[in-house]
Structure 1
């Protein structure tokens, strides 16, 4: 079965086509009879939402607003669409395709006539996606499958995704929660918050901070322009920043953390196979588990330790270097502060 719409015949279709506001779609098309398992969307200047939450009636909604978020009448929208845009919504097999293109991309469209065209799509949870927008946010929730999406100027909001997840934004933040398996998310201009996620996780930002909470798996998280905060992480974490400090608490993992522009504050509940810490521009405050076997290789302008004496330490210990073992040795702990102190605490 193939269902096909073009804007020139929207008024003749059995869809809602009302005056546009924040809560009323320009048009709605039911997808109840199409058993959608794939969604492909490409739009201009608008956001995209795809939800697989149960209890929703399968459908696609289109929202259209004028430049500077101005409300437009149905007639104004139809006129501008007919003159400047091609919008097609089609179901072929079990794939939903929604595309928006400018009719004259190589001509300078009058900015007053430009519009934001957004989509909200409600489908079964077992759906793959391929989504692109030139200037709006992307919101995904309750989906299981391969999800690929990118935006040139908005944020990413992701919740309850399972599968291979690949997301990019050139100018917004990323918020991901309750998701897993294989996450790869990148932003060029915002921060990243990740909560309650598991599996293989890769998070990269060029212009914001990282906030990591309740993560488990193989995790790589890096920022070029902000700090790193983390709580309750299991597995393996490799993280670093070129422009801020690192603050990690209640960690039970293998950890490699570094900073070129700030200090490190690390609290280890349990050290995994290794712990590697380095800062070029600050102190390292390191809290280690007193009962775990550790191999220590620590250096800084000063090395300070509490308590001042450990009965279970063996090796060399002086004012700026430690090489030795605690509790007979075990996980390798390496920490270096190029222009600061290393402050050790055992709990």
Structure 2
């Protein structure tokens, strides 16, 4: 049986490079005319996937093969023998570039391999990525980027349009992206910087760090803290198990934690402000010169005198209008103190 099952398409130019023992060198490199490539589909059961957008006349896929034990050095002969148990295909089908690998035996013992792909493709390409045991990295892509991994991290840099990536066991990093951004992890932290669009970030087991996000943002974690700087637009920030620190916030904000404190600096109020703490303290700095409708509750409220206020004030609640009423400002602390300072 041949080691590789490689389907050749029209207009295909092939260049094969065989590495010796160095896992950092590609086992194989194949090139294609970039003009006809509109889509990229990469699937592997035991390696990472990397996609980089370029303006080159050729598209290129590099294949990296190594033992699942990265410290293991494998001879060329041993590598070829192990590859007999794998299906490996690099091909072009119409305007779609395909990279595929699969362990035919489902034997993941000492003889198994990690097969990773690196693709250098036109920037406007649409990607469909899937790996069961590696990370996903997407850079400089202006087409839709869709993918999932069951056991690795996700990194997205300088991408536009629709981004829909998921991991069941790794962290997520997103930098300088615009569009419809949907990033989900079941077991890692999320770091998002310089994003603009409709942003949906979720993790079931890690912290979230946000910096310079514009548009409509939702950042939710079930098991970690949240730190955000320079959120603009409409923002939802919630955690079931950590503290929330917010600074330089402009716009509408809805933030809540079930087991931690909230520290918030609001530079400009949006259409509403809703902050909620179940068990912990809340400290808020915000403008107090706008028309607002206040509904605050805590074990104890510490606030400087409210000018132009009408309503009821007690030790543990304040309810009424400020400067004639207007923006709803709801601050609720179920078990803890609330401190509010004017900017």
Which TM-score band applies after superposition, normalised by the shorter structure?
over 0.9
d(CA) in 2 for partners of 1:346, 1:200: 31
The residue number in structure 2 matching 1:340 is 336
Instruction: Decide whether the 8 Å contact of 2:6 with 2:88 is kept in 1.
Output: no
* Residues 137/52 of structure 1: CA separation in 2 closer, same or farther (3 Å cut): same
Matches within 5 A, 1:1-347: 7=4, 14-32=15-33, 35-54=36-55, 58-69=59-70, 70-82=72-84, 84-105=85-106, 109=107, 111-305=109-303, 308-347=304-343
* Residues 276/27 of structure 1: CA separation in 2 closer, same or farther (3 Å cut): same
The residue number in structure 1 matching 2:11 is none
d(CA) in 1 for partners of 2:152, 2:197: 26
Query: 1:53-85 CA distances to partner (integer Å, 9 max, x unpaired)?
Result: 446952100001102112322222211111x11
d(CA) in 2 for partners of 1:28, 1:54: 18
Query: Which segments of 5 or more consecutive residues in structure 1 lack a partner in the other structure?
Result: none
d(CA) in 2 for partners of 1:114, 1:214: 43
Query: 1:149-176 CA distances to partner (integer Å, 9 max, x unpaired)?
Result: 0001100000111111111101000000
Instruction: Decide whether the 8 Å contact of 2:56 with 2:122 is kept in 1.
Output: no
d(CA) in 1 for partners of 2:6, 2:46: 23
With normalisation by structure 2, the TM-score equals 0.93
Query: Which segments of 5 or more consecutive residues in structure 2 lack a partner in the other structure?
Result: 8-13
d(CA) in 1 for partners of 2:79, 2:35: 28
- Give the C-alpha shift of residue 326 in structure 1: 2.1
Instruction: Decide whether the 8 Å contact of 1:159 with 1:177 is kept in 2.
Output: yes
The residue number in structure 1 matching 2:10 is none
SS in 2 for 1:158: strand
Query: 1:125-183 CA distances to partner (integer Å, 9 max, x unpaired)?
Result: 00001110011000001101121100011000001111111111010000001112101
Query: 1:89-139 CA distances to partner (integer Å, 9 max, x unpaired)?
Result: 11111211111112123xxx2611111100000001000011100110000
- Give the C-alpha shift of residue 35 in structure 1: 3.0
- Give the C-alpha shift of residue 6 in structure 1: 6.5
d(CA) in 1 for partners of 2:206, 2:333: 24
Task: Kindly report the root-mean-square deviation, in angstroms, between the aligned alpha carbons of the 2 structures.
Answer: 1.8
SS in 2 for 1:46: coil
- Give the C-alpha shift of residue 45 in structure 1: 1.3
d(CA) in 2 for partners of 1:225, 1:52: 34
Instruction: Decide whether the 8 Å contact of 2:23 with 2:65 is kept in 1.
Output: no
Instruction: Decide whether the 8 Å contact of 1:53 with 1:141 is kept in 2.
Output: no
d(CA) in 1 for partners of 2:5, 2:197: 46
With normalisation by structure 1, the TM-score equals 0.92
* Residues 303/9 of structure 1: CA separation in 2 closer, same or farther (3 Å cut): closer
Instruction: Decide whether the 8 Å contact of 2:34 with 2:56 is kept in 1.
Output: no
